[in-house]
Each structure stands twice: as C-alpha cells, then as structure tokens.
C-alpha cells in the first residue's frame, strides 16, 4: 500500500511539495478524500495573513505609543529594553494553553499570544530609534518653537523611521512564522500542513514550510518598500 498514497513515510521532495500546492493529493488516513491543493492553500494562506495582520496591529497598538513616549522622554530604558527582552522568552504554546482556560481557544487567544511575540522588537526598536536622534537637532527644533508633540512627530519620528521599521519588520517575521501553531488553538493556518504530517504526508509538511517562508518574504519586501516610502529624502541622501 505504501507509495500509492501521500505517505508520511516517504521523504519529501520539492517537486512533490509543489504538486501538493497545486493539485489535491490522496492521503492514506482520510478514507479517500483528497487533501491539499490550490483552494486549500489559498484558504489557509488567507487565515495566516489575517491572523498576522491582527496580531501585528495589536502589538503596534501597544508597543508604539509606549516606545514613542519613553523614547521622547528619555526615561524608562530599563522598562523598554528589559521588558522587551523578557517578552521574547515567553513560550508561545504555554501562553496559549494558559489563556485557553481564561478566554478560551480561538482567534482572540491566538491573536493576543502572537501580539505578545510582536511587542518586544517594536518596543525596543522604537525606544532606541527615538533616543538615537541627534540631541542637537532636537534642541534646535525646540529652539525654533516647536511644541513637544511637534518635536516628536516632525523631527524624532521621521529621523527614527529606519530603526522603527526594523522593529516592525522583525515583529512581522516573528508573528507570521509562529502563526503556524494556531491550529493547536482553534485557528486553521498554513501550520495545519506542517502539524499534521499523518494527513498531508511529508510533501504537505514541506509545502507548508515553503508557503510560510514565501509569505514571510513577501511581507518583508512589502515592508521594506513601505520603509523606503516613509523615509525622508534627507536621510536617504545622507545614507548614500
């Protein structure tokens, strides 16, 4: 029987994985129903993307204001950097299980768990980015009569964009890669292919990994493009 099916026992091949992405395949545990294929790939990719955007949005909502505020004031380095680093050490799966009893499994749970992963890089990089802005420039801005919010948004933020975006890009990669564990808490993402080798076979696992990597690259390139748009002309000149 082995070999006729999308067997979990056979080693994966790039060709097999690509076939899995486009054509539904037979599986030996589904009772004849085919699995994989383009429509399922699209469906799971959309959920993975939705989840990533939601979690990234939530982590930005929390980390950006705090990072901007602390960076501008120049205080709370310990909080911004220390908390940021500590946050990276939280095991996702434990967090999801912990919240399962309190708020249940599902989209809310996974979004919060992934946001926790996105907060540290955004918080730390925002803080550091704002702090790194040349003090003389900031003083000059105050000297010409800018209010504090004007100093922050017209001088510090534009000059900190490269560092700030580095944080957001890091958070995005963390989140999109880790969103693969969502099927363990009620949300079907591309991780379904990776977690369920018995159903999808080795080629399915490889296909899932390839798709997540492609998605991460696509997000990375889009954000790099966005960063280019947001970076002021003066900064680009000085970098060149």
Partner 1 sequence: MRITTKGGRAAAAVLFALILTLGVAACGSSNDSSSSEGGGGAIASNPNNGKVTLTIGSKNFPEQEILGEVYAQALQAAGYKVKKALNLGSETVALQTLKSGQISGYPEYASTALTSFFGIEPEEVPAAAQPAYEKAKAEFEKEGLTAFPPTPFASANAVGTLKKTADKLGLKTISDLTGKSEKLSLDGSPECRQRIDCLAGLEKYYQLKFKSFTPVDIGLRYTVLEKGQADLSILFTTDAQLSAEKDKFVILEDDKEVFPAGNVIFVTKPSVAKKAGPDYEKTIVEVQKGLTLPVMQELDARVELEKQSPAKAAAAYLKEAGYTG
- Which of 6, 17, 5 has its CA nearest to residue 190? 17
Minimum distance from residue 111 beta carbon to partner 1 (Å): 16
**94 interacts with partner 1 by CB under 8 A:** yes
Angle subtended at Cα 224 by Cα 155 and Cα 218, rounded to the nearest 5 degrees: 150
**Interface with partner 1 in residues 155-184 (CB under 8 A):** 183-184
> How many CB atoms neighbour CB 134 within 10 A?
11
5 by DSSP, 3-state: which? Answer: coil
**198 interacts with partner 1 by CB under 8 A:** yes
DSSP 91: -
**Which region among 3-11, 67-75, 79-87, 129-137 touches partner 1 (by CB under 8 A)?**
3-11
Lookup: tokens for 212: 């997540």
What distance in Å separates the CA atoms of residue 67 and residue 95, rounded to the nearest whole number? Answer: 24
Angstrom distances, CA of residue 49 to CA of 1, 210, 233: 37, 15, 31
**5 interacts with partner 1 by CB under 8 A:** yes
Angstrom distances, CA of residue 212 to CA of 150, 181, 191: 40, 12, 8
Nearer to partner 1, 177 or 226 (CB): 177
What distance in Å separates the CA atoms of residue 169 and residue 28, rounded to the nearest whole number? Answer: 40
**Interface with partner 1 in residues 102-161 (CB under 8 A):** 102, 104-106
Minimum distance from residue 70 beta carbon to partner 1 (Å): 30
**Which region among 148-156, 160-168, 195-203, 227-235 touches partner 1 (by CB under 8 A)?**
195-203
Angstrom distances, CA of residue 228 to CA of 6, 87, 166, 168, 233: 44, 29, 12, 14, 9
**Which region among 95-103, 112-120, 160-168, 223-231 touches partner 1 (by CB under 8 A)?**
95-103
Minimum distance from residue 97 beta carbon to partner 1 (Å): 4
Interface with partner 1 (CB under 8 A), residue from 98, 108, 158, 227: 98
**Which region among 142-150, 161-169, 192-200, 210-218 touches partner 1 (by CB under 8 A)?**
192-200
**73 interacts with partner 1 by CB under 8 A:** no
Nearer to partner 1, 2 or 229 (CB): 2
Length of the chain (residues):
240
């Amino acid at each position: 029987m082995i070999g006729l099916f999308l067997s979990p026992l056979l080693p994966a091949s790039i060709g097999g994985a690509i076939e899995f992405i486009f054509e539904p395949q037979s599986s030996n545990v589904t009772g004849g129903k085919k699995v994989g294929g383009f429509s399922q790939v699209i469906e799971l990719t959309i959920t993975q993307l939705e989840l990533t955007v939601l979690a990234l949005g939530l982590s930005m909502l929390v980390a950006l204001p705090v990072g901007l505020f602390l960076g501008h004031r120049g205080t709370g380095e310990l909080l911004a950097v220390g908390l940021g680093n500590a946050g990276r050490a939280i095991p996702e799966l434990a967090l999801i299980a912990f919240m399962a009893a309190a708020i249940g499994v599902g989209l809310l749970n996974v979004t919060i768990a992934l946001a926790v992963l996105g907060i540290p890089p955004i918080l730390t990089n925002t803080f550091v980015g704002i702090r790194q802005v040349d003090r003389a420039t900031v003083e000059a801005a105050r000297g010409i009569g800018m209010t504090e919010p004007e100093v922050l948004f017209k001088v510090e933020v534009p000059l900190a964009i490269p560092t700030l975006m580095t944080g957001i890009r890091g958070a995005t990669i963390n989140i999109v890669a880790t969103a693969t564990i969502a099927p363990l808490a009620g949300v079907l993402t591309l991780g379904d292919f990776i977690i369920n080798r018995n159903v999808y076979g080795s080629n399915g696992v490889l296909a899932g990994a390839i798709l997540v990597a492609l998605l991460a690259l696509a997000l990375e390139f889009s954000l790099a493009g966005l960063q280019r748009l947001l970076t002021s002309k003066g900064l680009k000149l000085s970098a060149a």
